[in-house]
Amino acid sequence: MRNLKVALIQMNPKPYELEYNLNLFLSIATKAIEQDAKLIVLPELFDSGYSVDEKDFAMDFSKINENETLQTLSAFAKKNKIHIIACSIEKDEDKLYDTAYIIDSKGTFIGKQRKMYLWGGEKQRFSEGEKQEVFELDFDEFRAKIGVGICYEIGFSEVARTLALKGAEILIYPSAFGKARAYVWDLASRARALENGCYILACNRSGEEIHRITKEQFQFAGCSRVIDPKGEVIAQVKSENECLIATIDIDQIYKQREALPYLKDIHTKLSKGAML
């Protein structure tokens, strides 16, 4: 039996307030450690806020030792022997990416997933990622395969389907999903779980932001949740800053995929052509 205790940290970060945001993460994450969670998921751009001027805030992943966010996450993961999925702004030469980092329980960076499908004004702010990867995490007693999509990508069935076909058992979505489309968040997150027979860890941010230059207001849906392979919500956040704890049974994935074999039956000429 592969039972995994996971922690989703919903939080309301402040734009440009790196120290505040990192300390907020650390304070909320204490619950994850107290309850012996093995995997933490953070919202999209948890350290910077969503509406920042990326050119001023971007961090160079190639210089990990100079990156306060990555150093904080790595140290926390290593000290507490916990895996972390966290999304931050990545600078790669002259390009910026909305990137999720995968950090193992030894504090080692084992990979990253750049956002491929950009929402609205993000197209002017970020470059698109170019590939999807599945990562295998070692939880000592067992291993599990994860795939990562970021926020808007939860609405693209092909993102989840591609990851599931590559072997992902858990799909993780760090997000800053808007309150105006909370109904999409609810529907899409459950649909991705059901159609792929996998667990969904959908970690959204809460609160609101006002862009300091344009004065545009952003309101976020919150409602971070864990969804089982049947598409049922088994745990959901109730407050603005909260650590949601849930235990998932990874072996249930394969029972559900036998009962409702969408992945098995997709292997037809029509479906393969549609995925190209």
| Structure confidence by residue, pLDDT tens digits, 114-158 | 999 999 989 988 999 999 999 999 999 999 999 999 999 999 999
26 assigned to some structural domain: yes
Active-site residue 151, yes or no? yes
Active-site residue 90, yes or no? no
58 assigned to some structural domain: yes
Number of domains comprising the chain: 1
Look at the pTM and tell me if it is higher than 0.85.
yes
Which long-range contacts link 154-157 to residues 24+ away (Cβ below 8 Å)?
A: 154/185, 154/188, 154/189, 154/192, 154/202, 155/184, 155/188, 156/117, 157/191, 157/192, 157/195
153 assigned to some structural domain: yes
Q: From the candidates 44, 90, 169, 209, give the one annotated as an active-site residue.
A: 44
271 assigned to some structural domain: no
Domain CATH code at residue 74:
3.60.110.10
In this predicted structure, the answer to whether residue 273 has a pLDDT above a threshold of 90 is: no
272 assigned to some structural domain: no
What average pLDDT does range 157-161 have in this prediction?
96
Q: From the candidates 38, 91, 112, 115, give the one annotated as an active-site residue.
A: 115
276 assigned to some structural domain: no
231 assigned to some structural domain: yes
Active-site residue 44, yes or no? yes
Domain membership of residue 136 as a residue range: 3-264
Cα separation, 240 vs 218, in Å, equals 15
Query: What's the pLDDT at 272?
Result: 54
84 assigned to some structural domain: yes
Q: From the candidates 87, 91, 112, 151, give the one annotated as an active-site residue.
A: 151
